[in-house]
Amino acid sequence: MLIFVVTVLLGTMGLALIRAVRGPTVYDRILAANAFSTKTIVMVTTFGFMVGEPELYLDIALMYALIGFIGTVAVLKVSEFGDLGQTRPELPTKPK
């Protein structure tokens, strides 16, 4: 049964990867990368159950989920605002 799950996951990861490459907009690419990340997390946990040590692999999957979430938020913020929100020095203005 787990072999079937791994096969289906690899297929959906391939489809997400195709969407990430061919996506017409940047938001399609970000969404596909997020879906690929989610499927990778499920793949890691499934691999943990196949090996017989799910507690070790669940910790790895949780860390990957946190990194993936922070990365997705950062990429969306950069694509929306052009930076990550750091304060810039004010430019001097001309007196009128």
- Give the residue-averaged pLDDT of 62-70: 94
Burial environment of residue 8 by CB neighbours within 10 A (0 to 12, 13 to 18, 19 or more): exposed
pLDDT tens digits, one per residue of 5-63: 899 999 999 999 999 999 898 889 999 999 999 999 999 999 999 999 899 999 999 99
Residue corresponding to tokens 């399609």: 28
Q: Does the pLDDT value for residue 88 go beyond 80? A: no
pLDDT at 83: 72
* pLDDT tops 70 at residue 87: no
Rounded-to-integer distance, Cα 73 and Cα 81, Å: 12
In sequence order, which residues have a C-beta less than 8 Å from that of residue 43 and are 6 or more positions away? 6, 9, 10, 13
- According to the model, what pLDDT value does residue 16 have? 93
Q: pLDDT at residue 95 above 80?
A: no
Buried/exposed code over 12-25 (b: 16+ C-beta within 10 A; e: otherwise): bbeebeebbeeeee
Amino acid 89: pLDDT: 64
Give residue limits of the domains in the chain: 2-77
